[in-house]
Amino acid sequence: MFEKLIPYDAAYTILDAYIQYYHVFKRITKRAKIRFEQRDWVGIQEDAKFRMTIYRTSVGETTQKLLHFLGTERNTHEVWVQIKEMFLEEIFNFNTRNIAETYFNSIYRHSHIGLGADEDLMFVNATGTYREFRSAIPIYHTFYLGSHFENTLQQLFSCFPFDAPMANLERDVFYIAETIRRKLSTYKRDFRHIRLEVLKSVFYRNKGAYIVGRMYLDDRIHPFIIPLAHENEGIYADTLLLEPNDISSIFSYNRAYFLVDTDIASEMVDFLKSIMPSKSLGELYNSIGFEKHGKTVLYRELLRHLDASADKFVIAPGVKGMVMTVFTLPSYSMVFKMINDKFRPPKMVTEQEVKSKYDLVSAHDRVGRMADSHMFENLTLPLNRFDPALIEELKKECASKITINQDTIEIKHMYIEKKMIPLDMYLKSATLQEAEDAIADYGRAIKDMAAVNIFPGDMLLKNFGLTRLNRVVFYDYDEIVFLTDCVFRKIPEPRSYEDEWASEPWYSVGENDIFPEEFSKFLIGRSDVRKMFLEKHADLYDVKYWQDVQERLRNGEIVTVFPYRKRLRFKNQFGKGILDGTAQKALDEKETEWPENK
């Protein structure tokens, strides 16, 4: 009787599911404050993982419901055109319209497996800037420092009440005020009218909470972040971060996403963009937990970049992998990775296992040491932008995952990651000091991953890269395993002269057996760099180091891996006086800290 209303009812089915999803998403972010107050670190980590599953679950369930409702009309082009039009009509005044559009796209893609993006049936392009949505009242508090910083900072903290005591607020206020004074002294000007704008929402991740804001010095914006910690004695400010690179590290794409309560995601992203202009919008959406919309924004940014550039996709520089084919667009900040159809020996993993490893890393605490990636399916790119040598490489290694048409190439499955300099390539031309810094951070990267129960498996330098901030990050996941699943052993003494010179081991080797003393034979080629590594990280060659980490993990300890340099912590700046250069470097070389209080 009312068949003409089928598209409207279908649109509202999607809308209702989106609202329910968003409710659960918001509820998880709101309880992060409670978890922090109660020092429920396991709960915060579980919530972060659970939040990543609710989107997929919601889309899957809604798709099945919708396809059942549509029946024989499920694949009718005109019906889906009308569904999209009516969905947009319903959400046009939503303050989260952009997130809702991405949700619709997910439903459509899930309903039409194997099809690429369709502008008629999906929100391929944004329907607006979304800046038309602004809170009725600002999303930030405004403060003026005046001549007495301490009074203003006391007022600032009063805006962030916790159901847990502050350990020593007077001390924290002094430390923050003194840090600001030192910062301002470098400008050699009197800034009595400095304005602070501080987001009302606190950012939570692992064992930390972050008060995020910006500081206006005349017409210049400076970031302003206060990391909070909560230990037995109470909550305290661990440091004050004012430098762009330190703030960029906090919001790194190699870290887990924040739990932060926000009503208008685009408004919060605009605020964050003002203090991190080098970050893409996609990265910032990811950082506040909207990783699916971050992927949508990344796709749109890629399309715009292709329109504005003329260079070609080429094979990525570096050692060719045995599992993945990697290519890049020289003018673009990302790399593209495809799983090969066949893996060369000695690789024994399957394609599905490789995909599961990427899923594992995506849901795990990446602790600033594992590259974030977005998986794309059925991606269509212009054929004339591909270098002929790359086309031949894809035909050779990934033929089952590409379809070459007259003007386009369709890619069935691919990962997109941030571009980095492979560590082995970097070290070939690095100065001695650059090599020392990089190799020290390489060891710290391995230890940081171990602290969150990750063993990289293949620790060769070619599987690590350097970021823009010269931070070492791991990006090859096909052999990644949980550290607690490994068996770390010492090589038995040879029983005879023949054993010592035999081509095969004289001892049994299990599937999960790891012999740390063998690392020195294959990890690092350059002898001078190998010596540096031994001086700084000799413990990585010791089986006891790994067994101790395993024991702590099995006992339920949660490591504190600071997303900023430890010399910046107030206890190191003020508790022991201002550090000299040697002390600062020593602190920087030991980033991971196991908590004293379990």
By annotation, the residues acting in catalysis are 372
Give the DSSP letter of residue 589: T
The structure tokens 């796209």 sit at 105
Q: Please, are residues 284 and 301 in contact by the beta-carbon 8 Å criterion?
A: no
Report the b/e string of 472-483 with b at 16+ CB within 10 A. Answer: bbbbbbbbbbeb
Give the DSSP letter of residue 248: H
Query: What is the spatial distance between Cα 215 and Cα 128, in angstroms, rounded to a whole number?
Result: 29
Query: What is the spatial distance between Cα 18 and Cα 104, in angstroms, rounded to a whole number?
Result: 8
Reported as type and span, the H/E element at residue 411 is strand 408-418
Six token digits for residue 78: 């005109």
Decide the pairing of beta strands 220-231 and 234-237.
antiparallel
Peptide bond into 346 cis (omega under 30): yes
HEC string of 481-516? EEHHHCEECCCCCCCCHHHHHCCCCCCCCCCCEECH
Q: Please, are residues 135 and 267 in contact by the beta-carbon 8 Å criterion?
A: yes
Q: Please, are residues 302 and 277 in contact by the beta-carbon 8 Å criterion?
A: no
Decide the pairing of beta strands 402-404 and 373-382.
unpaired
DSSP states of 85-134: HHHHHHHTT-TTHHHHHHHHHHHHHHHSTT----TTTS--S-SS-STT--
Task: Tell me the CB-side half-sphere exposure of residue 42, using CA atoms within 13 A.
Answer: 5
